C-alpha cells in the first residue's frame, strides 16, 4: 500500500472540499467507488496475482485474481470492484466459499468469521465474461491490426480497472509487494504486460501463458495487457533495460522513433533521479490508441511522428521537435506512477506535474528560453472555468486545467522561488521524498512550505482551488510617477512577488491584496501605462492596467 495517514487538518480540508459543487453529477457507482469507506480502510493491499486467459475469437476473458491483504482492524467485510457485466465464478478463502453482494460495480465480500487485525489473508476471486468497450480509449478492446491479426489492449484510467479485472478499484492503496500478471493467449500471439518478463509457458491446448512480475506498488489502472502480433527489439540506457514492441510492418519506423526514449530518460533522470522501476525495466508498446502511462509498459499510438497526432501541440514550433506521447506518457513514470494521487481529485499531481516535465524536457535539450516559449504555448488551452481540484471522494476526473494551468502554476512557482538552484533541488527532493507513495495536495503544500520556510498555502490554493487566475491590478499616477499595485484574488491572504517594468528592466515587487505604491526608476518615457507591464511569460497571471 502507498498510504499516508490523514491528519486532522487534512480531514478539515476534505470537509471544506466536499462543500464545493461537483463538476459533474456523480453516479451511484461513483458514490460507492469515490470514498475510501470503512470496508476499504479496514485492510491494506499487499499483492495481486492476476491470471487470465483471453480468447480473441469469442472475445471473452476468464481467470482469477489472488488478492492478499493485511487487516488493519477486525472486520468481516471488505469492498472490491468488478463491473456488473462480468460474472463472478466464485470467491474463496482457502477452501471456504465466501458470500458476496454486488451493488453496481462494487462487490462486498463477507467472511463467515471476523478477520483479525494484523493478520494477512489471501482470497481467490474467479470471474469471466465479455468485457465491453467503453470510455476514451475503449478500456478493453478486441481489435485487429492492419494485417488482420488480433490486437487486444487495455487502457482504463478514467473508467477504472474493474472494467476488466476484480480489484480494490481506488487510488489510495496499492499492493506494496507488487503483482504478478499471467496472460494466456493463442500461441501465435504475444502478450506484453507491466513488469519484468519472467517466462512463457506452452499450455499445450493452443495457448501460451506469458508471465510478468511487477516488483513495485502499481496503480490498478496502470495494469495492462497488450496482445498482438508484436515484433520485439531491445536496448539499454545505462544499466536500465529498454524493450520495444511494434507491429512487424512498423518496425523500422519504431526503431527510429523509439530512440527518443534515451533523451527522455536523460532529461528526467537529470532533474528527478533514476528511473523509478528499474527492476521491471522500461517498455514502449505500440497500440491502436494515442497512448497511456502504464507503469513500466508505456503504450504508444502517436503515428511514429513528432508532435501530438501529427499536430504542433503547443503551436509555437517546439512540439514538432519531439514525440509528445513518448515524452509525456513516460514522464508519468515519475509523477503518476512512482508518486500517485491518493484521490482522483488530486490528479493534477499526475497531469500538472507531467506537463511541467515536458517543459523540463525542452529546457534540458533546447534551453530555458524555449521551455518558456513552450510553457506560453500552453496558455490558450487553459479555461479557468472550474478549480483544478474538484470535490473529493466522488471518483470524478478534474477539469483539463489540471494539465496546462497546473504546469503553468509550477512554472510560476519557480519564478516565485527565484533561485534556480533552490528550485531544482526542491523538486528533486520532493520527488525523492514521496516516490512509491500515494499523496494528496496537502502533502505537496506542506513539503514545499517546510523546505522553503514560508507559507505558500494561499498561493497553491489560489491556483488549485479557485477557477480564476489572480489579477495584478496596476493604477497609474503619471503626475507623481507612481503606480499603485495589488492582487485581485480569491484568497484574501494571497501574496506573490512578481517582476514589473519593461522587458530587460524588471524590478521585483511584493504585492498583496492590499494596495501599495511604487515609485519607479524608469524614465518618464517608459513609465507609461502602455509600456509598463509585468513579466507574464514567467508568472501566469492576469494584468489589469488603468
Ligand atoms: Zn498525462
202 found inside a domain: yes
Cell of 411: 512554472
Long-range (24+ apart) CB contacts under 8 A made by 502-507 are: 502/526, 502/531, 502/532, 502/533, 503/533, 503/535, 506/535
Residue whose C-alpha is closest to residue 103's, from 215, 44, 216, 27: 27
416 and 457 together in one domain? yes
Whether the CA torsion 382, 386, 390, 396 is positive or negative: it is: negative
Report yes or no: 235 and 256 within 8 Å, Cβ to Cβ: no
For residue 82, how far is its CA from the centre of ligand 1 (angstroms)?
25
For residue 408, how far is its CA from the centre of ligand 1 (angstroms)?
15
pLDDT at 120: 98
pLDDT at 238: 97
191 and 280 together in one domain? no
Cβ partners under 8 Å of residue 419, min gap 6:
none
153 and 237 together in one domain? no
| Cα Rg, the chain, nearest whole Å | 25
pLDDT at 135: 83
Report yes or no: 320 and 359 within 8 Å, Cβ to Cβ: no
Strand (E) or helix (H) holding 349: helix 348-366
Per-residue confidence of the chain (546 residues) as pLDDT tens digits? 443 433 333 333 333 343 444 456 788 988 999 999 999 999 999 999 999 999 999 999 999 999 999 999 999 999 999 999 999 999 999 999 999 999 999 999 999 999 999 999 999 999 999 998 888 888 999 999 999 999 999 999 989 999 999 999 999 999 999 999 999 999 999 999 999 999 999 999 999 999 999 999 999 999 999 999 999 999 999 999 999 999 999 999 999 999 999 999 999 999 999 999 999 999 999 999 999 999 999 999 999 999 999 999 999 999 999 999 999 999 999 999 999 999 999 999 999 999 999 999 999 999 999 999 999 999 999 999 999 999 999 988 999 999 999 999 999 999 999 999 999 999 999 999 999 999 999 999 999 999 999 999 999 999 999 999 999 999 998 888 899 999 999 999 999 999 999 998 999 999 999 999 998 777 777 778 889 999 999 999 999 999
CATH number for the domain including 270?
A: 3.30.2010.30
pLDDT at 16: 38
Last residue of a domain, one of 194, 213, 229: 229
Residue whose C-alpha is closest to residue 118's, from 159, 82, 69: 69
Last residue of a domain, one of 284, 303, 322: 303
For residue 432, how far is its CA from the centre of ligand 1 (angstroms)?
20
30 found inside a domain: no
pLDDT at 153: 98
CATH number for the domain including 68?
A: 2.60.40.1730
pLDDT at 13: 39
Cβ partners under 8 Å of residue 252, min gap 6:
none
65 and 193 together in one domain? yes
329 found inside a domain: no
456 found inside a domain: yes
Last residue of a domain, one of 445, 463, 481: 463
For residue 466, how far is its CA from the centre of ligand 1 (angstroms)?
22
For residue 486, how far is its CA from the centre of ligand 1 (angstroms)?
35
Cell of 128: 469471466
For residue 474, how far is its CA from the centre of ligand 1 (angstroms)?
37
86 and 141 together in one domain? yes
76 and 221 together in one domain? yes
CATH number for the domain including 375?
A: 1.10.390.10
Order of all β-strands in the sheet with 150-155? 139-144, 150-155, 225-228, 190-193
In 3-state terms, the chain is what percent helix, strand and coil (to 5)? 25, 35, 40
- Count of domains forming the chain: 4
Instruction: Tell me how far the alpha carbon of residue 433 is from its chain's centroid.
Output: 17
* DSSP for 274-336, written as a single string: S-TTTTT-EEEEE-SSSEE--TTSEEE-STT-SBBTTB-TTSSSSGGGSBHHHHHHHHTTTBT
CATH number for the domain including 516?
A: 2.60.40
327 found inside a domain: no
478 and 398 together in one domain? no
For residue 301, how far is its CA from the centre of ligand 1 (angstroms)?
14
452 and 479 together in one domain? no
Residue whose C-alpha is closest to residue 484's, from 512, 527, 518: 518
Can you tell me whether residue 33 is helix, strand or coil? Answer: helix
108 and 161 together in one domain? yes
Cβ partners under 8 Å of residue 273, min gap 6:
428, 431, 432
Structural domain span for residue 536: 471-545
pLDDT at 521: 72
262 and 142 together in one domain? no
Report yes or no: 232 and 243 within 8 Å, Cβ to Cβ: yes
For residue 536, how far is its CA from the centre of ligand 1 (angstroms)?
25
Can you tell me whether residue 223 is helix, strand or coil? Answer: coil
424 found inside a domain: yes
102 and 199 together in one domain? yes
520 found inside a domain: yes
For residue 405, how far is its CA from the centre of ligand 1 (angstroms)?
13
For residue 324, how far is its CA from the centre of ligand 1 (angstroms)?
10
Q: Rounded to the nearest 5°, which phi and psi values hold at 493?
A: -90, 10
Alpha-carbon separation of residue 249 from 147, 194, 229, 522, 535 (angstroms): 9, 24, 10, 64, 49
pLDDT at 528: 82
1 found inside a domain: no
348 and 239 together in one domain? no
Cell of 311: 499536430
Amino acid at each position: 500500500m502507498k498510504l499516508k495517514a490523514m491528519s486532522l487538518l487534512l480531514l478539515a480540508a476534505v470537509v471544506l472540499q466536499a462543500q464545493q459543487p461537483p463538476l459533474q453529477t456523480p453516479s451511484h457507482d461513483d458514490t460507492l467507488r469515490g470514498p475510501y469507506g470503512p470496508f476499504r480502510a479496514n485492510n491494506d493491499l499487499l499483492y495481486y496475482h492476476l491470471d487470465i486467459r483471453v480468447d480473441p475469437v469469442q472475445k471473452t476473458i476468464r481467470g482469477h485474481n489472488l488478492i492478499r491483504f493485511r487487516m488493519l482492524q477486525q472486520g468481516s467485510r471488505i469492498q472490491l470492484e468488478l463491473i456488473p457485466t462480468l460474472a463472478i465464478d466464485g470467491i474463496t478463502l482457502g477452501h471456504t466459499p465466501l458470500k458476496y453482494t454486488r451493488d453496481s460495480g462494487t462487490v462486498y465480500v463477507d467472511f463467515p468469521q471476523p478477520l483479525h487485525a494484523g493478520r494477512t489473508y489471501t482470497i481467490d476471486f474467479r470471474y469471466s465474461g465479455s468485457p465491453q468497450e467503453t470510455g476514451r480509449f475503449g478500456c478493453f478492446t478486441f481489435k485487429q491490426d492492419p494485417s488482420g491479426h488480433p490486437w487486444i489492449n487495455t487502457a482504463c484510467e478514467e473508467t477504472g480497472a474493474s472494467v476488466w479485472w476484480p480489484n480494490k478499484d481506488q487510488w489510495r492503496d496499492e499492493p506494496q509487494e507488487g503483482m504478478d500478471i499471467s496472460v494466456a493467449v493463442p500461441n501465435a500471439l504475444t502478450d506484453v504486460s507491466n513488469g519484468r518478463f519472467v517466462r512463457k509457458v506452452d499450455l499445450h491446448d493452443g495457448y501460451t501463458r506469458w508471465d510478468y512480475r511487477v516488483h513495485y506498488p502499481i496503480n490498478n489502472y496502470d495494469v495492462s495487457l497488450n496482445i498482438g502480433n508484436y515484433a520485439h527489439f531491445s536496448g539499454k540506457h545505462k544499466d536500465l533495460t529498454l524493450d520495444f514492441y511494434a507491429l512487424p510492418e512498423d518496425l523500422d519506423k519504431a526503431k527510429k522513433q523509439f530512440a527518443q526514449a534515451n533523451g527522455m530518460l536523460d532529461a528526467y533522470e537529470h532533474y528527478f533521479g533514476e528511473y523509478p522501476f528499474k527492476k521491471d525495466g522500461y517498455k514502449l508498446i505500440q497500440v491502436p490508441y494515442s497512448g497511456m502511462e502504464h507503469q513500466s509498459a508505456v503504450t504508444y499510438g502517436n503515428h511514429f511522428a513528432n508532435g501530438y497526432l501529427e499536430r504542433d501541440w503547443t503551436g509555437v514550433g517546439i512540439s514538432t521537435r519531439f514525440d509528445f506521447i513518448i515524452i509525456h506518457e513516460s514522464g508519468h513514470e515519475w509523477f503518476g506512477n512512482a508518486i500517485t494521487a491518493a484521490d482522483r481529485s488530486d490528479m493534477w499531481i499526475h497531469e500538472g506535474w507531467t506537463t511541467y516535465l515536458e517543459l523540463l524536457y525542452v529546457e534540458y535539450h533546447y534551453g530555458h528560453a524555449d521551455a518558456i516559449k513552450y510553457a506560453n504555448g500552453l496558455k490558450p488551452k487553459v479555461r479557468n472555468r472550474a478549480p483544478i481540484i474538484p470535490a473529493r471522494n466522488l471518483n470524478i476526473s478534474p477539469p483539463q486545467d489540471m494539465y496546462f494551468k497546473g504546469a503553468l502554476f509550477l512554472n510560476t512557482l519557480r519564478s516565485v522561488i527565484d533561485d534556480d538552484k533552490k528550485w531544482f533541488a526542491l523538486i528533486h527532493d520532493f520527488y525523492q521524498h514521496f516516490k512509491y507513495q500515494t499523496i494528496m495536495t496537502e502533502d505537496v503544500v506542506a513539503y514545499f512550505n517546510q523546505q522553503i520556510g514560508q507559507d505558500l498555502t494561499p498561493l497553491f490554493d489560489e491556483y488549485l482551488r479557485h477557477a480564476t487566475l489572480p489579477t495584478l491590478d496596476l493604477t497609474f499616477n503619471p503626475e507623481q510617477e507612481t503606480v499603485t499595485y495589488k492582487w485581485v484574488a480569491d484568497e484574501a491572504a494571497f501574496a506573490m512577488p512578481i517582476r514589473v517594468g519593461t522587458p530587460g528592466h524588471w524590478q521585483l515587487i511584493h504585492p498583496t491584496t492590499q494596495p501599495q505604491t511604487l515609485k519607479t526608476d524608469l524614465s518618464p518615457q517608459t513609465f507609461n501605462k502602455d509600456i509598463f507591464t509585468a513579466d507574464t511569460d514567467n508568472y501566469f497571471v492576469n494584468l489589469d492596467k488603468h
